[in-house]
């Protein structure tokens, strides 16, 4: 698949679930709940988190394109049950490359109408 004269690095996508830093305990609880749910359903692998710049990012890799919607729906449902949905930003990340450059393309899926620029930093 081509994009801006580049091609995809992987045949899977990633999901980033981002929380404000003050929700660290909720974010870590969400990670504990989401990791086995996604894995057991074959919808990706939780790969850890990072913390900085006032944000906490949870990373899920190896989501097949055809499974994105199911993975997204599962994550939203779990975040809602944990009462964390309003604090979360959920993003799809696709890696692209050319011969001398690699970049990430982020698409915000939640919340709808999110009008800020997304950054993991």
On whether the CB atoms of residues 71 and 90 are closer than 8 A, the answer is: no
On whether the CB atoms of residues 13 and 105 are closer than 8 A, the answer is: no
Angle, helices 68-81 vs 24-40, to 10°: value is 140
Q: Are strands 2-3 and 6-8 parallel, antiparallel or unpaired?
A: antiparallel
Per-residue pLDDT tens for 22-55?
Answer: 999 999 999 999 999 999 999 999 999 999 999 9
Per-residue pLDDT tens for 96-107?
Answer: 888 888 888 899
Domain 2-110 has CATH 3.30.70.600: yes
pLDDT at residue 100 in the model: 83
Domain extents in the chain: 2-110
């Amino acid at each position: 698949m081509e994009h801006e004269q580049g091609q995809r690095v992987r045949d899977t996508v990633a999901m980033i679930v981002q929380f404000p830093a003050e929700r660290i305990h909720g974010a870590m609880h969400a990670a504990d709940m989401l990791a086995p749910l996604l894995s057991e359903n074959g919808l990706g692998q939780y790969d850890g988190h990072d913390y900085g710049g006032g944000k906490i990012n949870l990373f899920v890799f190896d989501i097949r394109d055809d499974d994105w919607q199911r993975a997204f729906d599962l994550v939203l449902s779990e975040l809602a049950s944990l009462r964390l949905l309003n604090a979360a930003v959920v993003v799809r990340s696709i890696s692209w490359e050319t011969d001398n450059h690699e970049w990430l393309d982020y698409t915000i899926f939640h919340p709808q109408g999110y009008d800020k620029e997304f950054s993991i930093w």
